[in-house]
Amino acid sequence: GAVVSQHPSRVICKSGTSVKIECRSLDFQATTMFWYRQFPKQSLMLMATSNEGSKATYEQGVEKDKFLINHASLTLSTLTVTSAHPEDSSFYICSARENSGGYEQYFGPGTRLTVT
Amino acid sequence: LAKTTQPISMDSYEGQEVNITCSHNNIATNDYITWYQQFPSQGPRFIIQGYKTKVTNEVASLFIPADRKSSTLSLPRVSLSDTAVYYCLVALRGDTGGFKTIFGAGTRLFVKA
């Protein structure tokens, strides 16, 4: 089946620094990728929809200047958390859908971000 | 945007069949119903997807009544490793042809020995 990878799997950074998380579709092309955030014991919250070659679409309440999304190719989307603060500590998960159609989303393994 | 409602938690024993029902009263014509499984600190894993009637694969069955306002995930003969959170999602096709998936609260299934 289709595989989505994320890098890094875990990152610790100091408050005020920026962190970049990569999401790759390994064996398929994905025009659209999604970024979610999940806090402990809670469900996944959709942050934004990443579209290859165009600007991302952010969900209400998500700061686009803080969470920068770049979808430069059909297999790579990146999420940069700028000027990270402890409240940004969370589990970030990306997903992708194959261009060939269908509604199935393939999820990455997630990235655990801890801001100290 | 269609939303889903599921039981918060369920308990079961090994070897039993587990049925988790999800309500999606305002599902739209274009919406598909998908179920995912998630273990702690991992990304969700696709289980099954359907549009209407019944769908079966090697791990589960999905039952969708004619009005499509609910769906039931059936897990046959669960094992301890099936302890996880199960999410029912509705995929809404947008105006541009793309879609996005909104997660509900999910159902925490705990399988006991």
Hey, is B86 helix, strand or coil?
strand
Residue A73 CA from chain centroid, whole number: 14
Q: How far is B113 from chain A (nearest CA, A)?
A: 23
Residues of A in contact with B103 (CB under 8 A): 36, 43-46
Cβ atoms of B65 and B53 closer than 8 Å: no
Measured CA to CA, the distance from residue A93 to residue A84 in angstroms comes to 17
Residues of A in contact with B101 (CB under 8 A): 34, 46, 95, 105
Q: How far is A6 from chain B (nearest CA, A)?
A: 10
- Model pLDDT, residue A68: 96
Measured CA to CA, the distance from residue B48 to residue B35 in angstroms comes to 6
- Model pLDDT, residue A113: 98
More confident position, B89 or B99: B89
Cβ atoms of B104 and B57 closer than 8 Å: no
**Tens digits of residue pLDDT in B70-88:** 999 999 999 999 999 999 9
Question: What confidence tier does B99 reach under pLDDT thresholds 50, 70, 90?
Answer: low
C-alpha distances in Å from residue A69, one per residue of A35, B76, B86: 9, 41, 28
Q: How far is A93 from chain B (nearest CA, A)?
A: 6
**Tens digits of residue pLDDT in B15-43:** 999 999 999 887 877 788 999 999 999 99
- Reported residue count of chain B is 113
B1: pLDDT strictly greater than 70: no
